[in-house]
Structure 1
Amino acid sequence: MRLLASICLLLLLGNSTVTRAQSGTFQLKGKIIDGNNKPVSFATVVIEETKNGVTADENGVFTLPLNARKGDRLNLLFSRIGMQTAKDSIIVGDLLNQLVVFRMYELNLSLKEIKVSPESGKSISNSAIVIDRDVIEQTPALSISDLLNLLPNQKFTPPSLQNVQNLNLRIAPTATNTGRSDYGLNNAFGIAIIMDGNLISNNANMQSRNPLRSATGLSGAVVTTGGSVGVGNTDSYSGDNTFGGIDLRQIPTENISKIEVISGVASAKYGEMTDGAVIIERQAGYSPLYIRTQLRDNASNYGFSKGFHLKNNLGALNIGANYTSSFMDNRDKLKAYKRLTTNLMWTKYFGKDEKVKNTFSLDYSKFLDGVKKDPDEELDKTARFDSWNFAVANRLLFNVNKNFMKSASLNMRLSYGEQVTSTEEYVNKPVTLYTLETSPGIHEGNFGPGQYTSLSMIEGKPINYTASLDFNTEFYTGNLKHRFTYGGNFNYSANKGRGQLFDPALPRAQANVNFNSKAGLSERYYDYSLIYPQKDGGVYLEDRFITYILGKPLSSSIGLRLDLQNKYKVLNPRSNFRYKLSGNFDLGLALGFSSKAPGLGQLYPGPVFFDIPLVIHFTGNESTSTYLLYTDRYDQEPKDIKPMKSFTTELNLSYHKNGYNFTLNAFYKNSTNGFGTETRYKFLHLPKYNVEEQAGTKPNLTPTGEYLNTQVSYYSLENNLASKNTGLELMMAFPKFDAIATTLNAALGITRSELTKEGLKSTSYTNDQPENLDYATVGVYENGRTINVQSRGRLSTNTHFPKLRLMIRFTGTFDLIDKNSTPGYSGVPIAYYTADGRYFEVKNFDPADPDMMHLLRTDNVKSSNSDQPAIYSNFHANISKDILKNITLSFNVYNFFNYRPRFRIEGSTDARIPNGRPTFGAELVWKIP
């Protein structure tokens, strides 16, 4: 299918006869006024099809060049912070000799119509969902994560900053106590976050333990606290988001004009993604001064933003800042999160016809996230996850408006940050055994005190640079108009931090050798600055055109990407088709491939060390004691890690008439090459020693000639995770019921995910017969699979009284299905390793064989189910009122019925509570013109 799509694209472009249509450069002269017929100064006017635009002057007057054929229809978008986004269309050539008046309205509760829910967007992607400024203003949010809760099949949660907020799209990952799973992390890692045309990358984030040490994979490699993090909360906490997507807590909502979420097949323009994209646009231009204060039961948020139009034709300057302080529980402030973000954007048009637009931006953010020591739990760990980040970006748009090219754009972004993850814990044991050696072999170790405070730190200094160059042109083949785009992108990621910092003499309790002569995983210093930078890039071309079938328009977008990711070439064709069945029904079809390169954390997890004691002779005096050990080391080869891949196909049906808007998406997404870990075993043949004590000095060690068969296990990073995801998404909007001034909106989603791990799995067993070399110590089995089904619904009523400047919104959310099942499989091994490392296939398993009988597993023979036993509902309310013309007060409550049902899964002692406790919040917005 990938080859077929590529051939179709080449035939379309190669066999077309390009004709130069009767086109020319026209000019539209317009003026923008508000509801009181006063000029709207410094608003932005953009042609939706080409993205070319200009800024109106202080009198609302603008001149917009139109390079098109006479009779073409062009759609115009008018935007300015504080004003409701307006849309209009023109026919080229009809209004050339007159001043055309366009109208915008101030965004407040006196408007007749205000959007309160996301809508399906008319973009290249059939699955695009748009959250514009109207919706943002009416939604209580501490970060964009709260806005993305409005998407179909997303869990509706109260605004909070107390946990890492990653986004998952079109997957039902397995629920875990930590909220992290390898499949969920891969999905979040494969979602591109694009702000102002620039990719925000998490590739250089390495704030994590080594995942090759953990039996639980990437999700278990995080740095965590232990025990309590507040009143009534005994779960551990981690602020790490390595191996996943961008932590959405870091992005506040100030100055955001629009968010477009693509869950399915995106434009070929976008690379470095397998599971969708979140495209964020911030307003650059004049705006009133906004002062915002949001107070919640566990958080306080303060922010301001202002856009200035500079004199002497120096353009526009936007500034903004946001500060948030929050606690998990105000009664016991052990867990805190604080965020400071500032931004500056300068926009200017150059040239007589304003053909060149340049936007320069600076962003600074600082995050303090941590858990203090509980005075009642002296052995609990404390942890801090602190960071700051600085980014500089520039967007250059050149409107050429020639027959061969319409526009060209160059986007660049450079970010630099410092991340510090630190933990502190008290260790109490008899004696510490440690070594400083990093090379494999037999070494003499050291003894240290057993009671101490262990300090460990991970210091990262991530550097990310992204650049993209895009060209847009238009041409005709006969009467068929093509909007053709092509270009490329480059991504650079590095980490110059000091890395993983440990004192081997004061190891963590989980990372040292036991005094009972057992092998242990240990840690060494790992310098991140020695890691090779990551360099990835790609090129693309895409053709958009409209043809007619049976007299009805078919909108088509056919694109092709070629990506180079970790030295692997990946070809990604993509296509979106939308056919107008009638004046009210649209039918869409899309299919496409995409890929995502591994990040530095997957490429360079660092070495793994095993310290295996050979002799531990301790007399209480270090001068007469000896610790002899063998150090084993494993290093991951970065060249072995391939990019993640996904194939998506989706069917879309939409209906729009008289205020009724229904959109149904059916999708299938097959994700492969996901990043996971695989258990590996190494069998060592180590010498035994005789210990001969000597008075006043260390004992004399002599080899006995005998050897000890020792088995160690480690975990290699592999492309071994896969998921098949199918589902439906339904969005519904109904016209206003004038009698009660109320509109109704609803969303429903269901996703079924089949999660598999490629290859075989193995289980280690205690060697009860150490002298029997034929005894099976490792059993090899077929890998199982997990099937998860999740379905959630949302129903909202919005009662709006424009004359009263009042809006009341009630939202009911429904957890319909939450099913997790593991089909049973045979517990018979298909192979095994003996005590000395020999590998044997099992063709006829004999449960009576004393060397293998213990390998028969009965714990996974039966299928297991973890089903939500009922449908659970939750209800929320939001009231907004314009107190004065320029002051708006909002009050919101989550779970206002305090409905918190509990249920237990059969065979588990843990209780699940689908609804969080009630939370309250109020927001005051003061707009100063």
Structure 2
Amino acid sequence: MRYLRVFLFIFILPVALNAQINLKGIVLDAETQEPLGNVTIIDLNSKQWSISNLKGEFTLELKSKKSTQVEFRLLGKKVETLNLNQNELLQSQVVYLKDKNLRLDEVVIRAKKGQSFSEIILEEEAINQVQSFSLNEVLEQLPGQKITEFSLNEFKPIAFRTVRPPGISDEGFGNKSFGTAVVVDDIPLSNNGNMQSFTANMSSPFNPNYLGFGDRDAGTSFNGNFTNANFGVDLRQITTQNIEKIEIVEGIPSAKYGDLTSGLVKIDQKAGQSPFLAYASLREGTTEYGLNKGFQLSEKAGFLNVSASLLKANANPRVSYTDYERINTQLMWSWANQPKSIRNSLTVKYGFNVDNVNYEEEDKDQKRVKNEQKDLRISNRFKYKFEENHFLDHFELNTNLTLTDQYSFESKYVNNGGKLVGFQTEEGVYEGIYTEPTYIASKEVEGKPISVYSAANIYKSFSTEQWTHHLSAGISYRMNDNKGRGRLGSPENMGPALVSQTNSGGQAFRPYNYADEVKAESQFSLFIEDEFSTYGDNSKLNIAAGLRSDIQNSYLTLSPRLNSYYIYKDLKIRAGFGLTAKSPSLNQIYTGYRYYDVILGDFRVPGEYNIGAIQTFVEKENNPEVKPSRSLRTELGFDYRFDFGSINITGFYNKLYNGITSSPYPIKRDLADVSVDDSDLSNPEIVIDGYNSYYYTESQISNGLESEDIGLELFMNFPEFIFKNIDFSLQGSYISTINNNTEDAYVKSSNASKPESFGVYHQGDKDLSHLTFGGTLNYHIPDIGLVIAVRSEHFIFDKYKRNASLYPYAFIDKNLNKVPISSENQNNEDLYGHIIRSSSAYENNRTKVFHNFHLRISKDFLNGFRFSFYANNFLDLKPTSIERSNGKDIEMINPDMVKLSFGTKIEYQF
């Protein structure tokens, strides 16, 4: 009760202190001078909002008499932002909005820094700077990212402010991708219920299912992986045509946002009246067609936005055995009451995505792979603005229900059957079964994730003599479950994991039903935040301080957040600090029981009998002790505005801890010695003659990964560079990443008579670093609606080093006791040669500088058409680098170099 009184005191006290004024004015069309209704007006400081009436008139309640920024938004019009000083706040404002097209005098075609902290803003023309079939291509414009070889035949993860590793299975990258939040219209997308994994995290949680195509010798394995269980949202499923603005927070997010560790992507979709827009986009083997329209139902009924798109992609247009298909449809109904104090938006979206690979004609094993996903997403956003002098300013309630149907399938022809496999789900010795000599091996996973989200937030702004405060607080609830049939099939059709050899063993497959075994994961969160500011002569100090509390997987986490900036004339200094938390996914918690099958004997008498003895061991199920991952995020930067441009530099240090990884552990079991009693040849029986000690390792999910990122980011913008209508921007990124798996690794003794059963090793860390620069040169001729843009990428160095211990620092004895080895004896091969492994250290340093250049030409026609032409690596550069292949260094075309490719897009508004 005491905390409730404190909470109410915080929000009621400002009523007495409030010193508000009303900003009034009218919004007109810049060309026709006609009034514009339904314009959304937002005070960017307090987030207070208003909507203009049909006469274009508006009244915006301001909580401060100090200067502020007011934004005017209407679909199809260029966003207008007014910087109003203390005197201008008392004057009636006349605001003109221009049509949004390439005939504007000024078009922002690049990513730009936000007005507050270190956020990056991408608006419509910046989104169109690249030929974007999905959100992934748009985000490749950011510092630290790079344009990759275009392919939609694989899932697209992303992580910010970290070095992209050479392989998708990197645990550091996997954790950071999983911790990157994507929020669409204030409602987060969730991948926590995705359990589309064939292997149940037996070795590593970051080994996605593989389609079976792609050049694995090209120095990268970011190709052909189609399921993103344990990773972040698949960005290729998010279309861009309906996006109005993207805000990327690479640093410290507001306390309002949770269930993340590595960054935040906020997407605002288009809503309101708009003409029909039909478009077609083509690049290599990928085509997309779409149609958008915003209807005004009536003055009282509001607006209905309808969009639909169809995409088909082929990884290699010369053949037809790999394809990806995406269908997205969406209805958005937006409504406001007559006084404009209530706004509501209801969105219904259906998505269909399918990966399909068919090698039946081209491949000898007739491999087929399919991954299908259907999504129904229903979201509602409600906002209520209280009357003047109320102790609250406004209230919002956001709710979402997402129903997903997933199906993953793989099959291939097997011609080396007749192998012995186990099938029991209880421990013991039993007679195994044999696979057919030839058969179709298949894997199937059916998942039906359910995601529920609800959040209620309140806002209050007030001013004192010196300070202006913007308070916000909220409560949210998330639930993820999976009602699918899970991993399907039977052991004899999975493809033999074991060889028919006595005492050979390995991890085994058993069906696992998600609907029966998986329990729903719930998250409950609270946050409170105060963004307060004060003004001086030519200066401003702004601080946003908040605290977030999450209960995730029964663990309580507290996450303080602090962002600040100080402005003095043209200099701005920024600093931030914060903690974040990311809940483990259902796939990381629920793995089912761990089965280990050992072949005790395969007895065959030709013409009489075949009988095989299997012993199955069963280990504990699931990983209930897995905690949320945590991240410490810090940054320090400055901005300076010159007469001819601006510069932004940000330094950062981030540390991920309690990261998800795989933790092996040694096991000792009693293994049966068996023989066959074949006194009756028609009914041979397995006989247990005794038991011997048997050692092997199992694996579980743990919080043993740590990762550190340190780096610098650079933005430089020159609105008019040398010549009129030409602007130039430069960005750069230096990042050093160190991933450290704190769990032990085990090497089984090659000599069973020795007292050491396993050698114990440190995993070793991975060091990655890169230095890149990029530039964008835009030539804009507004009179004819033409933009010519050249984007360059400059790769200075890209280093990767995997450190690994060659010698054990301890051993596991016959009773599973861990015994340290003295440093002077760790490399003693006479004593420990049977547990010393071969070196697994690796180093690949690309220090040869190379460059790439990309071209965009867009033209707006007066009849409603827009034509865009895109070319990646339009100079057809082919730099070489030294790569390691089969133990040798060879010179080859740099695998990071994007190949020459062309694309076009045609849009028509009517």
Q: For the Cα contact (< 8 Å) 2:80–2:97, is it kept in 1? A: yes
1:692 matched residue in structure 2: 677
Matched, 1:560 2:547: yes
Call closer, same or farther: CA 1:809–1:382 in 2, change over 3 Å: same
Q: For the Cα contact (< 8 Å) 2:765–2:802, is it kept in 1? A: yes
Q: Equivalents in 1 of 2:31, 2:763: separation in Å?
A: 65
- Cα deviation, 1:236-292, whole Å, max 9, x if unaligned, reads 722011111000000001221110000011111111011110000112211122111
1:842 matched residue in structure 2: 821
Call closer, same or farther: CA 1:400–1:93 in 2, change over 3 Å: farther
1:472 aligned counterpart, secondary structure: strand
Q: For the Cα contact (< 8 Å) 1:560–1:571, is it kept in 2? A: yes
Q: Equivalents in 2 of 1:519, 1:613: separation in Å?
A: 6
Q: Equivalents in 1 of 2:14, 2:355: separation in Å?
A: 58
1:310 aligned counterpart, secondary structure: strand
1:639 aligned counterpart, secondary structure: coil
2:176 matched residue in structure 1: 187
Matched, 1:455 2:455: no
Task: Letter of the 2:80 partner, please give it.
Answer: A
- Cα deviation, 1:114-133, whole Å, max 9, x if unaligned, reads 0111111124xx22000012
| Bigger mean CA deviation after superposition, 473-482 or 894-903 | 473-482
1:416 matched residue in structure 2: 403
1:6 matched residue in structure 2: none
Of 789, 798, 810, the match for 1:809: 789
Q: Equivalents in 2 of 1:546, 1:25: separation in Å?
A: 18
Unaligned 5+ segments in structure 2 are 1-5
Matches within 5 A, 1:255-266: 255-266=242-253
- Cα deviation, 1:290-333, whole Å, max 9, x if unaligned, reads 11111112211111211111125111111101111111111112
1:747 matched residue in structure 2: 731
2:143 matched residue in structure 1: 152
Q: For the Cα contact (< 8 Å) 1:690–1:704, is it kept in 2? A: yes
Call closer, same or farther: CA 1:740–1:478 in 2, change over 3 Å: closer
2:362 matched residue in structure 1: 376
Q: For the Cα contact (< 8 Å) 2:592–2:622, is it kept in 1? A: no
Offset of residue 434 of structure 1: 2.9
Of 319, 343, 354, the match for 1:357: 343
| Bigger mean CA deviation after superposition, 24-33 or 913-922 | 24-33
- Cα deviation, 1:392-440, whole Å, max 9, x if unaligned, reads 0000001114341101100011100101000001112241323331112
2:878 matched residue in structure 1: 900
Q: Equivalents in 2 of 1:924, 1:849: separation in Å?
A: 69
Q: Equivalents in 2 of 1:16, 1:644: separation in Å?
A: 36
Task: Letter of the 2:41 partner, please give it.
Answer: V
Offset of residue 48 of structure 1: 2.0
Q: Equivalents in 1 of 2:309, 2:217: separation in Å?
A: 28
State how many pairs are aligned. Answer: 897
1:830 matched residue in structure 2: 809
Matched, 1:20 2:20: no
- Cα deviation, 1:794-835, whole Å, max 9, x if unaligned, reads 11111111122211111111122210123565x332221346
- Cα deviation, 1:612-631, whole Å, max 9, x if unaligned, reads 1223223356x833222211
Q: Equivalents in 1 of 2:53, 2:142: separation in Å?
A: 37
Offset of residue 209 of structure 1: 2.5
1:924 matched residue in structure 2: 906
Task: Letter of the 1:680 partner, please give it.
Answer: Y
Q: Equivalents in 1 of 2:191, 2:271: separation in Å?
A: 25
1:168 matched residue in structure 2: 159
- RMSD (Å), alpha carbons: 2.8
Offset of residue 762 of structure 1: 1.8
2:624 aligned counterpart, secondary structure: helix
Matches within 5 A, 1:324-335: 324-335=311-322
Call closer, same or farther: CA 1:686–1:657 in 2, change over 3 Å: same
Matched, 1:886 2:864: yes
Of 110, 114, 117, the match for 1:121: 114
Offset of residue 89 of structure 1: 4.2
2:763 matched residue in structure 1: 783
Q: For the Cα contact (< 8 Å) 2:44–2:68, is it kept in 1? A: yes
Q: For the Cα contact (< 8 Å) 2:354–2:373, is it kept in 1? A: yes
Call closer, same or farther: CA 1:440–1:46 in 2, change over 3 Å: same
Matched, 1:85 2:65: no
Q: For the Cα contact (< 8 Å) 2:201–2:588, is it kept in 1? A: no
Q: Equivalents in 2 of 1:95, 1:840: separation in Å?
A: 75
| Bigger mean CA deviation after superposition, 196-205 or 729-738 | 729-738
Q: Equivalents in 2 of 1:27, 1:836: separation in Å?
A: 78
Q: For the Cα contact (< 8 Å) 1:31–1:102, is it kept in 2? A: yes
1:734 matched residue in structure 2: 718
Call closer, same or farther: CA 1:265–1:231 in 2, change over 3 Å: closer
Q: Equivalents in 2 of 1:810, 1:765: separation in Å?
A: 59
Of 66, 69, 78, the match for 2:61: 66
1:127 aligned counterpart, secondary structure: coil
Offset of residue 885 of structure 1: 4.1
1:5 matched residue in structure 2: none
Task: Letter of the 1:348 partner, please give it.
Answer: W
Give the TM-score taking structure 2 as reference length. 0.93
2:3 matched residue in structure 1: none
Matches within 5 A, 1:246-645: 246-350=233-337, 352-373=338-359, 375-379=361-365, 381-401=367-387, 402-509=389-496, 511-512=497-498, 514-515=500-501, 517-530=503-516, 531-548=518-535, 552-580=539-567, 582-619=568-605, 624-645=609-630
Of 681, 698, 706, the match for 2:666: 681
2:415 aligned counterpart, secondary structure: strand
Task: Letter of the 1:742 partner, please give it.
Answer: I
Q: Equivalents in 1 of 2:621, 2:440: separation in Å?
A: 31
Task: Letter of the 1:905 partner, please give it.
Answer: E
Unaligned 5+ segments in structure 1 are 1-9
- Cα deviation, 1:352-377, whole Å, max 9, x if unaligned, reads 42101011000110001121115232
Call closer, same or farther: CA 1:865–1:17 in 2, change over 3 Å: same
Q: Equivalents in 1 of 2:532, 2:828: separation in Å?
A: 70
Offset of residue 43 of structure 1: 3.0
1:183 aligned counterpart, secondary structure: helix
Call closer, same or farther: CA 1:158–1:213 in 2, change over 3 Å: closer
Matches within 5 A, 1:224-263: 224-226=210-212, 237-263=224-250
1:218 aligned counterpart, secondary structure: coil
Q: For the Cα contact (< 8 Å) 1:226–1:380, is it kept in 2? A: no
Offset of residue 223 of structure 1: 2.1
Q: For the Cα contact (< 8 Å) 1:685–1:708, is it kept in 2? A: yes
Identity %: 24
1:187 aligned counterpart, secondary structure: helix
Q: For the Cα contact (< 8 Å) 1:47–1:77, is it kept in 2? A: yes
| Bigger mean CA deviation after superposition, 911-920 or 596-605 | 911-920
Matched, 1:647 2:627: no
Q: Equivalents in 1 of 2:505, 2:673: separation in Å?
A: 15
Q: For the Cα contact (< 8 Å) 1:426–1:451, is it kept in 2? A: yes
Matched, 1:203 2:182: no
Q: Equivalents in 1 of 2:299, 2:725: separation in Å?
A: 47
Offset of residue 789 of structure 1: 0.2
Q: Equivalents in 2 of 1:759, 1:449: separation in Å?
A: 40
Offset of residue 55 of structure 1: 3.6
Call closer, same or farther: CA 1:680–1:886 in 2, change over 3 Å: same
- Cα deviation, 1:832-889, whole Å, max 9, x if unaligned, reads 13466454332362766755233345626xx753100301101111111123342111
Q: Equivalents in 2 of 1:682, 1:631: separation in Å?
A: 14
Q: Equivalents in 2 of 1:232, 1:425: separation in Å?
A: 25
Q: For the Cα contact (< 8 Å) 1:683–1:711, is it kept in 2? A: yes
Offset of residue 478 of structure 1: 4.3
| Bigger mean CA deviation after superposition, 745-754 or 426-435 | 426-435
Task: Letter of the 1:278 partner, please give it.
Answer: V
Q: For the Cα contact (< 8 Å) 1:384–1:422, is it kept in 2? A: yes
Q: Equivalents in 1 of 2:53, 2:744: separation in Å?
A: 67
